[in-house]
Amino acid sequence: MPKKYHINVKATPLDMDYLFKFKIVRGENCINCGKCSKVCIYEAHKRRPDDPRRMADPNTRVCRNCFRCIQECPRGALEKSINKDFTNIGDAFWKPDMLLSLWKQAEDGAVPVSGAGYRGQFTGTGFDSLWTDMSEIVRPTRDGIHGREYISTSIDLGRKLNHLTFDSRMQLTSKVPDNIDLSLPILFELPEKNLSPNVKEALLKAATELNTCVMMPVAEITSEAEKYSNNIIPCLTSEETDKYEAVLKKARLVAVEYNNARPGNIPGLQAKIKKLSHALTIIRVPAVKGLEDNVARLAQNGAEIIHIVADYRGQELNGSKGTDRRLLKDIIRSVHLRLVEEGIRDEVTLIASGGIAMAEYVPKAMLCGADLTAVDIPLMIALGARIYEEPQKMLIIPEGLDKIPLSVVTQRIINLMGAWHSQILEMMGAMGIREARRLRGESGRAIFFEEVDRDTFGNLFKKREVESK
Ligand code: SF4
Ligand code: SF4
């Protein structure tokens, strides 16, 4: 059995204010009986250190909204109210609750808990309209994060052989391509240019500890980052390969923008990069209409790894604003099925990125047909960034982040990935899948709401439409 992959999470609060959904206020009629401190298992209520006869202000940041203290206070002295500043952050895709959940996961690396139970919608758009078949959840002692059986989240990148060939003496004649193994089906991407040096180094340090990699523009790779070369994926255009030979020589993976890497040039480009460093090449393809043709041509021309890049909300990059833009879930499915039809799906690795906002989106993207995902914005939300979407995307990086010690910033990113890893394990355990590699295109474990809706009500409503004519 392989050595169990473990992420070392540790409580790492950030010394800065963050917006919370509710504010808890202790009223004047509090008699300091201390009952609330006994019932709150999250220690939101404590006595004042300077005067233990009196209660301190409630610590909203640890509250999990179970409402127990409010119900049990003998004087009705506690009030919980919605914080308006909180509801203003995010928007239809990056919802305030999502941001808060990411922030909390980075605080302690724990699986998010909603004390008052889940009260949200059971379907939505994109990955929220994909349910997973959790019928294996009846065996919780065997599976998931508390189980005894090992569930592997590792995946490998690179070209695979469709079949092996042997000569007349039964000697293997196929050349087995190089592969790179990562412990998580998640790569990091820089969400913004010009991040402070401590944030960039923290991302690299965290990626190294987690056995994954950071994709970053080649121009941003400084000499200080050299010690992390094994975990950096330089991103560049094919014309820049000569200029940055020194960087490429140290890389295991290199990402090249599709615009400048025409399908016919792929074997030459990959050979050129391999000559420098044996690195595997990722071709970054923008998620535009007709993407399936581009990906199929690339795969037919020998591309090893193809990265589908959608926008920050997981939408197609072209098309008008609104409903005619496909979402990442549908884009991945369509590309995957096209490659299956062409008989080349097993040979190429597919990465998907854009709007991977929560842990559950990772296995869902894989069920749709991706081999792995790349994340960017959640890494910044873990560090206190806020995103506003109207009138346009605005990622507000907190002031003073550049002064926070490297160890703190790194641990928060590790914590976030620790929480995601636990959630992925829980989902895989509940689906009865032991290896992340087996998630790819496993649509038997996926339930697409649109299809259920159409199968259940499609004919019914069609009939009514006919009757009303
Ligand atoms: S339970 Fe109510 S009265 Fe007692 S300390 Fe808490 S807020 Fe005050
Ligand atoms: S609502 Fe629940 S979690 Fe929040 S402070 Fe009260 S008892 Fe603690």
175 CB-contact burial (10 Å; exposed 0-12 / middle 13-18 / buried 19+): exposed
Q: Please report which confidence band the pLDDT of residue 469 belongs to, taking 50, 70 and 90 as the band edges.
A: very low
Lowest model confidence (mean pLDDT) among 152-161, 304-313, 384-393: 384-393
Tell me 179's DSSP state.
Answer: -
- Bridge partners for 307 per DSSP: 284, 351
Q: What is the pLDDT of residue 124?
A: 80
> Are 395 and 90 in contact, with CB atoms under 8 Å apart?
no
C-alpha dist (Å) from residue 141 to 136, 138, 165, 360, 418:
11, 9, 43, 21, 20
- In this prediction, residue 142 has a pLDDT band, given cuts at 50, 70 and 90, of low
Q: Is 297 in the pocket of ligand 2 (CB under 6 A)?
A: no
Q: Measure the CA–CA gap between 381 and 447, rounded to whole angstroms.
A: 30
Asked if 269 contacts 237 with a C-beta cutoff of 8 angstroms, the reply is: no
pLDDT of residue 81: 87
The span from the CA of 198 to the CA of 160, in Å, is 37
pLDDT for 93-110, tens place per residue?
898 888 989 998 999 998
Q: What is the pLDDT of residue 466?
A: 46
Residues 285, 308: contact at Cβ < 8 Å? yes
Give me the pLDDT at residue 253, please: 95
Mean pLDDT score of the chain, rounded to an integer? Answer: 88
Give yes or no for residue 437 CB within 6 A of ligand 2: no
Q: Ligand 1 centroid vs 31 CA: distance in angstroms?
A: 6
pTM: predicted TM-score of the whole model, two decimal places: 0.86
Cα R_g (the chain), whole angstroms:
25
In the DSSP assignment, the letter for residue 313 is T
Q: Is 80 exceeded by the pLDDT of residue 122?
A: no
Written as one string, the DSSP assignment of 123-139 is --SGGGGEEE--GGGG-
pLDDT category at 91 given cuts 50, 70, 90 is: confident
Q: What is the pLDDT of residue 10?
A: 95
Ligand number nearest to the C-alpha of 59: 2
Q: Give the mean pLDDT of 227-244.
A: 93
Dump pLDDT digits (tens) for 317-345.
876 665 678 999 999 999 999 999 999 99
Q: Encode pLDDT of 12-68 as tens digits.
A: 988 777 778 888 999 999 999 999 999 999 999 999 999 999 999 999 878 888 889
**What is the whole-number distance in angstroms between the Cα of residue 37 and the centre of ligand 1?**
8
Residue 164: half-sphere exposure toward Cβ, Cα within 13 Å: 7
